[in-house]
């Protein structure tokens, strides 16, 4: 019976996220991740067959973490409150996970999705479809309630919260706590005209 591995897949993924936050995708090499973990270079290949698989795993773990709370927020009732909660959830999640937030808003293109294997690209497409379907559903519910266009609703639902967190994440810091309330209030104003 062999001894248990010293480093888990999550250890390597955590290191990859830290490197991405500090250096961008170019800094996330197999040897750099192994070095960050304090593992021999070859040990990372026991978990991930190559850099594309590592980057795909980082993306899916990040996206799954984000989408869980975001998709739940979009399903709430009434639709206006769901939209406000979803916008605030973006900020809350980025406050709790600033390095992953930076990775998320740069998207899977920054992680070389075109180099991923067919299965991982299909998983990415499915995750995007799931998110697009949820946003399309809330927009359809909000249009008759607000009288606003899809573009106006997308500004409140997506563009505003990402703009509010991006400048903080770009500086390597979590958005301040007040950003959650600021985004919620501004989203409410944009969607309903009330403060």
- Residue range 94-129, pLDDT digits in tens: 999 999 999 998 999 999 999 999 999 999 999 999
DSSP collapsed to 3 states, 93-129: HHHHCHHHHHHHHHCHHHHCHHHCCHHHHHHHHHHHH
User: Using CA atoms, how far apart are residues 161 and 180, in angstroms rounded to an integer?
Assistant: 9
Model confidence at 194: pLDDT above 70: no
- 26-48 pLDDT, tens digit each: 999 999 999 999 999 889 999 99
Residue-averaged pLDDT of the chain: 94
Model confidence at 190: pLDDT above 90: yes
* Average pLDDT score over residue span 54-58: 98
pLDDT more than 90, % of the chain: 93
Using DSSP, state whether 63 is helix, strand or coil.
Answer: helix
Q: Cβ distance 168 to 93 under 8 Å?
A: no
pLDDT score, position 4: 55
Report pTM.
0.92
* Average pLDDT score over residue span 151-168: 96
Nearest one of 42, 62, 59 to 50, comparing CA atoms = 42
pLDDT score, position 74: 97
Model confidence at 2: pLDDT above 80: no
Higher pLDDT pick, 5 / 76:
76
* Average pLDDT score over residue span 149-168: 96
pLDDT score, position 195: 44
pLDDT score, position 3: 53
């Amino acid at each position: 019976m062999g001894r248990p591995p010293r480093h888990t897949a999550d250890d390597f993924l955590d290191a990859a996220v830290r490197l991405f936050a500090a250096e961008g995708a170019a800094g996330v090499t197999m040897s750099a991740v192994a070095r960050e973990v304090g593992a021999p270079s070859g040990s990372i290949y026991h978990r991930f067959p190559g850099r594309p698989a590592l980057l795909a795993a980082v993306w899916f773990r990040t996206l799954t973490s984000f989408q869980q709370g975001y998709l739940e927020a979009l399903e709430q009732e009434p639709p206006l409150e769901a939209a406000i909660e979803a916008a605030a959830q973006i900020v809350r999640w980025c406050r709790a996970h600033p390095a992953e937030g930076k990775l998320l808003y740069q998207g899977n293109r920054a992680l070389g999705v075109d180099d991923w294997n067919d299965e991982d690209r299909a998983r990415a497409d499915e995750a995007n479809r799931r998110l697009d379907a949820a946003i399309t559903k809330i927009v359809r519910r909000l249009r008759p309630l607000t009288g606003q266009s899809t573009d106006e609703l997308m500004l409140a639902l997506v563009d505003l919260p990402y703009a509010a967190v991006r400048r903080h994440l770009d500086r390597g810091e979590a958005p301040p706590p007040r950003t959650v309330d600021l985004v919620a209030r501004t989203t409410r104003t944009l969607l309903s005209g009330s403060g």
